[in-house]
């Protein structure tokens, strides 16, 4: 049986799925992973990782026969897919199966900002309602003009869900797409024309701090900003400044620059709704992602076509 080196620890369910096909080595079970790999790394062709665990360059030297890295995530900004491709190593990821779930998370954040939901929940749960009554009326999220930054798979699923709330959708991306929504080639112009922005941009150098004070100020004091893409795309220092001085209305965030750390400044603000990167985190969706990541490994081992290689790997297939 071929060996899979698991950078991301496989739980019982995933072990049960993989063990009929492979010998599993979980990095978390090794006392000294580098020493173990120095002795046993030759011959290992496959790695299972995740967006959280990523892929360090040292594996390339320790596993000279590596052929496939399967990441249990759609985002792969923590893995240099081009450098892998140059060495003939394929990278697979888990697109599509999480679109609906992440879109739901984006819409939950969007509505929670407009409806001041965290405070409303606390007002009921703490019994404050009986003592001090209802909170000031919040605003509606229905019927807004919403700008999507990154109208890809998840962006389109989010747009479709927001349309059910009678929202008008516009979008920013590097290129105009064949869709009915209005296109902007400038995120600041999009922010100026919209009530709210929802960002589902990937991470990496090209989107670093694309969401910054110019965008926040263009969105304005009543504006709502949601980010479910990557924390690196948003300048957190400038966001705290904009939210705390009233230049921006609200922020709903699922992703942060230095996860799992969330700056105290963001946690202290009453006009933020914060989640711990749970965009795709349901039993059903996480299993669908894991199954896709594992099926890529099984197909590869059996000489069958890979289901979801990243675009950078397509030249190798």
* H or E element in which residue 23 lies: strand 22-26
144 counts as catalytic: no
74, 108, 169, 191: which one contacts ligand NAP (CB under 6 A)? 74
Quick one: 62 or 228, whose CB is closer to ligand NAP?
Answer: 228
Q: Which one of the spans 160-168, 213-221, 244-252, 277-285 is the region binding ligand NAP (CB under 6 A)?
A: 277-285
Q: Which of residues 13-72 bind ligand NAP (CB under 6 A)?
A: none
Quick one: 37 or 290, whose CB is closer to ligand NAP?
Answer: 290
71, 112, 123, 207: which one contacts ligand NAP (CB under 6 A)? 207
Tokens of 22: 């492979």
Quick one: 14 or 277, whose CB is closer to ligand NAP?
Answer: 277
Helix axes 99-114, 283-301, angle to 10 degrees: 150
Find the shortest distance in angstroms from Cβ 89 to ligand NAP.
20
Q: How far apart (Å, rounded) are the C-alpha atoms in residues 200 and 203?
A: 9
45 counts as catalytic: no
200 sits near ligand NAP (criterion: CB under 6 A): yes
209 sits near ligand NAP (criterion: CB under 6 A): no
Q: Which of 93, 277, 286, 312 is catalytic?
A: 277
81, 102, 162, 234: which one contacts ligand NAP (CB under 6 A)? 102
Q: Which of 19, 163, 259, 284 is catalytic?
A: 259
Nearest residue by C-beta to ligand NAP?
Answer: 152
Q: How far apart (Å, rounded) are the C-alpha atoms in residues 138 and 73?
A: 36
Backbone angles phi, psi at 179, to 5 degrees: -130, 165
Q: How far apart (Å, rounded) are the C-alpha atoms in residues 286 and 311?
A: 22
9, 202, 220, 265: which one contacts ligand NAP (CB under 6 A)? 202
Quick one: 10 or 95, whose CB is closer to ligand NAP?
Answer: 95
Q: Which of residues 278-297 bind ligand NAP (CB under 6 A)?
A: 279-280
- Position of tokens 């320790």? 62
24, 98, 190, 262: which one contacts ligand NAP (CB under 6 A)? 98
Tokens of 42: 């030759």
- Computed on alpha carbons and rounded to an integer, the radius of gyration of the chain in Å comes to 22
Tokens of 303: 């000489």
Q: Which one of the spans 18-26, 225-233, 261-269, 296-304 is the region binding ligand NAP (CB under 6 A)?
A: 225-233
CB 27 within 8 A of CB 50: no
Tokens of 56: 């360090």
CB 295 within 8 A of CB 72: no
Task: List the helix and strand counts (H, then E) for the chain.
Answer: 13, 12
Strand order in the sheet with 2-6: 22-26, 2-6, 46-49, 68-71, 90-92
Q: Which of residues 141-180 bind ligand NAP (CB under 6 A)?
A: 150-155, 173-175
Task: Write out the E strands in 94-243.
Answer: 145-149, 168-172, 182-184, 196-199, 224-227
Quick one: 49 or 123, whose CB is closer to ligand NAP?
Answer: 49
Count of residues near ligand NAP by CB under 6 A: 28
CA–CA–CA angle 258, 75, 105 (5° rounding): 80
192 counts as catalytic: no
Q: How far apart (Å, rounded) are the C-alpha atoms in residues 219 and 248?
A: 7
| CB proximity list for 20: less than 8 A, separation 6 or greater | none
Q: Which of 230, 238, 286, 312 is catalytic?
A: 230
254 sits near ligand NAP (criterion: CB under 6 A): yes
Find the shortest distance in angstroms from Cβ 31 to ligand NAP.
32
Residues that bind ligand NAP (CB under 6 A): 74-75, 95, 98, 102, 150-155, 173-175, 200-203, 206-207, 228-230, 254-255, 277, 279-280
Catalytic machinery residues: 230, 259, 277
């Amino acid at each position: 049986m071929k060996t899979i080196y698991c950078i991301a620890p496989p739980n019982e369910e995933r072990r049960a799925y993989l063990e009929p096909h492979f010998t599993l080595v979980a990095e978390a079970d090794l006392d000294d992973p580098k020493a173990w790999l120095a002795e046993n790394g030759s011959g290992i062709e496959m790695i299972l990782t995740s967006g959280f665990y990523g892929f360090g360059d040292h594996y390339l030297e320790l596993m000279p026969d590596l052929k496939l890295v399967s990441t249990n995530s759609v985002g792969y900004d923590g893995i240099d897919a081009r450098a892998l491709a140059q060495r003939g190593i394929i990278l697979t990821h888990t697109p599509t199966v999480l679109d609906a779930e992440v879109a739901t998370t984006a819409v939950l954040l969007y509505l929670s900002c407009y409806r001041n939901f965290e405070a409303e929940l606390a007002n009921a749960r703490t019994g404050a309602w009986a003592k001090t009554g209802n909170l000031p009326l919040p605003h509606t999220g229905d019927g807004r003009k919403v700008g999507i930054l990154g109208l890809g798979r998840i962006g389109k699923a989010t747009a479709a869900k927001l349309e059910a709330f009678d929202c008008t959708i516009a979008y920013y991306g590097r290129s105009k797409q064949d869709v009915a929504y209005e296109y902007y080639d400038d995120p600041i112009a999009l922010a100026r024309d919209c009530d709210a922005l929802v960002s589902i941009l990937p991470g990496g150098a090209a989107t670093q701090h694309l969401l910054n004070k110019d965008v926040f100020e263009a969105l304005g004091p009543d504006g709502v900003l949601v980010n479910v893409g990557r924390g690196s795309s948003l300048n957190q220092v400038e966001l705290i400044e904009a939210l705390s001085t009233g230049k921006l209305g609200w922020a709903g965030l699922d992703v942060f620059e230095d996860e799992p750390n969330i700056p105290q400044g963001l946690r202290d603000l009453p006009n933020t709704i914060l989640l711990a990167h749970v965009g795709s985190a349901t039993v059903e969706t996480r299993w669908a992602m894991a199954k896709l990541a594992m099926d890529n490994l099984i197909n590869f081992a059996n000489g069958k076509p890979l289901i979801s290689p990243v675009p950078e790997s397509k030249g190798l297939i």
